[in-house]
Amino acid sequence: MTAPKATNITWHAGELDRAARARAHGHGGATLWLTGLSGSGKSTLARRVERRLLERGVFAYVLDGDNIRHGLCADLGFSPEDRHENIRRVGEVAKLFTDAGAIVLTAFVSPYRADRDAVRALFDRARDGEGALPFVEVHVAADLATCEGRDPKGLYAKARRGELRDFTGIDAPYEAPSAAELTIDTGSEDVDASAARVIAWLEARGHLSS
């Protein structure tokens, strides 16, 4: 956890607790942290799950890696230090959304296991005494050959030509989850099948009504 620089601040609890928000929405909050190589289908899967959830009246929202870098993290690059800060900021935002009762889907390469574990630890710590917030690591596990074959942004081609440095999977590491709650191989099933598996997982564990 990063300690605030300011010392004259106090955490203010709201008038509604988490249970009241869950009653209002018809479900509790949770963050599904989609991690995987560029081109693995994280954003596509997250958007399809978001759509399916919204169609059934669920409060859901996607935090997408590229979109976040247009604003909240526009000052960050792709060095290990900047990647760490990028994930830290996103983790804090996702936690707020989750506390508000949203099903949050994050779509970030988030290549370092320690950074993902730090976000999980953030969800395990509650300031309000209501207990841990649900954090679900989803490994979008299409392999490098599949991702490079897709190359939707042409980034792998640039990395192979040496025009793009520190690219995950080529000259920067990707540390796959060792114990993800859910693993989806988008190289072996289509996006609708993958989305259905995610939603079924949420239903089976009580995050949604079936």
Active site residue 40: no
Q: Is the torsion defined by CA of 127, 128, 132, 134 positive or negative?
A: negative
Rounded distance between C-alpha atoms, residue 192 and residue 188, angstroms: 12
| CA distances for 62 relative to 20, 66, 195, angstroms | 23, 11, 14
Task: Report whether 18 contacts 101 (CB < 8 A).
Answer: yes
Q: Which amino acid is at 14?
A: G
Active-site residue identified among 38, 40, 43, 110 = 110
Distance, CA of 186 to chain centre: 16
Q: Kindly list the catalytic residues.
A: 110
